[in-house]
Amino acid sequence: MNYRISNRAESLTPSLTLAISAKAKQMKAEGHDVVGFGAGEPDFDTPQHIKDAAAAALEEGFTKYTPSSGIPELRKAVADKFKSDNGLDYDPSQIIISCGGKHSCYNVIMATCQEDDEVVIPAPYWLSYPEMVKLAGAKPVVIPTSDETEFKVTPEQLRSAITSRTRLFILNSPSNPTGTVYTPAEIRELGDICVENGVLIMSDEIYEKLLYDGAEHASVAGFSEQHYAHTIIVHGLAKAYSMTGWRLGYLAAPEPIAKAINSIQSHSTSNPTSFAQKGGVAALTGPQDHLQSWLDEFSKRRGYAHETLNNIPGISCVNAKGAFYLFPKISNFGLSSAEFCRRLLEEDKVAAVPGAAFGADEYIRLSYATDIDNIRKGLDRLAAFTGKLQG
Ligand SMILES: *Cc1c(COP(=O)(O)O)cnc(C)c1O
């Protein structure tokens, strides 16, 4: 039997992060004391009132199909969130609830991109963006950045990456994997360039609330009617409410795009899980006080990790202003990021994600969504590992 795999699926790059995390899991199962810096999710539990709302919905029999774009109550709660947090006016008909922020990104790219289109993506990027673009048959155009510009793409770089084929620019601030947060003025300028060139912007704002050192989040949609008309915001509940396993995300788009996405979703996943959506309503409309204590904790860990990393000879690390990742440079040691991470795991039992997974081979990603004792232990081991490499 010839199990011919589609060109579409064959074009994908298997996830480098999965290989490392599978290995870390296996080592843990074998009894090794592995310190994990790989987590892409908060280590806190979902706030209780959110769980209660979903449990009550389940109990009350809210277990059937819902409208494919989500329950009206949740679409309205999302529209209200955009109004109160971002000053943006969206009608609930412009809001689509999906099965995670990742699914929202996928829907946007499927609804807007096709063969011969180019999609401009600054690197380091969230690893799914280029793969989704390839699935749509379009071409990722990657703009490299480095720690010298805090991993920010410059207006000149964006201008020169845009061609007559450019359909979409992907902006992710605060960023995974670097924690970079663009200032409002920088976002506006990138937005201006897209508007001038008729390029749509997919703005992934899922880390909007995870900001440090007074950093400010601005949505590109807010700068003018033109910016609004060119922007699709993707967002979700996973990070700010620690709801990664709930699979609940959302987007806000100009009406025709929302309509197209509704069609796509109605023929693929249909609605996101009914009772999870009730939890989503509780998350967005209920108390938000968990967030400050999470931020305080993240901020403490970030401060410790950032300082400790920069004290390790050969490593340098820009301080992140958002999300829960640091992205130290490790290229001084002469290893590829994959080799560095493989050896770090095998020899010193620390799991980190190679920068190559994010299009930046000179770095590794460390998540500080783990407790401070773990961070201390893991960074001590990292220092011992790099000491051996230098010695
Ligand atoms: C985590 C994440 C998402 C979405 O995650 P979901 O679990 O699918 O909601 C989207 N974009 C970035 C950059 C992320 O890190």
Q: Residue 235: its pLDDT value, please?
A: 98
Neighbouring-strand partners of residue 326:
366
Distance CA 35, CA 244 (A): 21
Tell me the one-letter amino acid at 248: L
Q: Could you state, in order of their start, the residue ranges of all structural domains in the chain? A: 7-45+290-389, 64-285
Cβ neighbours of residue 208 closer than 8 Å, sequence gap 6 or more: 85, 174, 217, 219, 235, 240
Q: Is 174 in the pocket of ligand 1 (CB under 6 A)?
A: no
Q: Give 10-residue mean pLDDT values along the chain (391 residues).
A: 91 78 89 91 96 98 98 98 98 98 98 97 97 96 98 98 98 98 98 98 98 97 98 98 97 98 97 98 97 97 98 97 98 96 96 96 96 96 96 70
| Residue among 132, 181, 204, 277 to mutate when testing ligand 1 (max atoms within 8 A of CB) | 204
Distance CA 37, CA 341 (A): 11
DSSP 173: S
Q: What is the CATH number of domain 7-45+290-389?
A: 3.90.1150.10
Q: Is 236 in the pocket of ligand 1 (CB under 6 A)?
A: yes
Q: Same CATH fold, 64-285 and 7-45+290-389?
A: no
Q: Residue 257: its pLDDT value, please?
A: 98
Q: Is 175 in the pocket of ligand 1 (CB under 6 A)?
A: no
CATH of 64-285 among 3.40.50.11720, 3.20.20.70, 3.40.640.10, 3.30.70.20: 3.40.640.10
Atom of ligand 1 nearest to the CA of 236: 9
Strand pairing report for 325-326 and 118-123: unpaired
Cβ neighbours of residue 18 closer than 8 Å, sequence gap 6 or more: none
Q: Is the dihedral of CA 93, 99, 105, 106 positive or negative?
A: negative
Strand, coil or helix: 314: coil
Q: Residue 181: its pLDDT value, please?
A: 98
Q: Is 102 in the pocket of ligand 1 (CB under 6 A)?
A: yes
Q: Residue 15: its pLDDT value, please?
A: 73
Q: Is 249 in the pocket of ligand 1 (CB under 6 A)?
A: yes
Max CA-CA distance within the chain?
Answer: 64
Residue 182 burial (CB count, 10 A): 26
Distance CA 197, CA 161 (A): 11
Q: Is 101 in the pocket of ligand 1 (CB under 6 A)?
A: yes
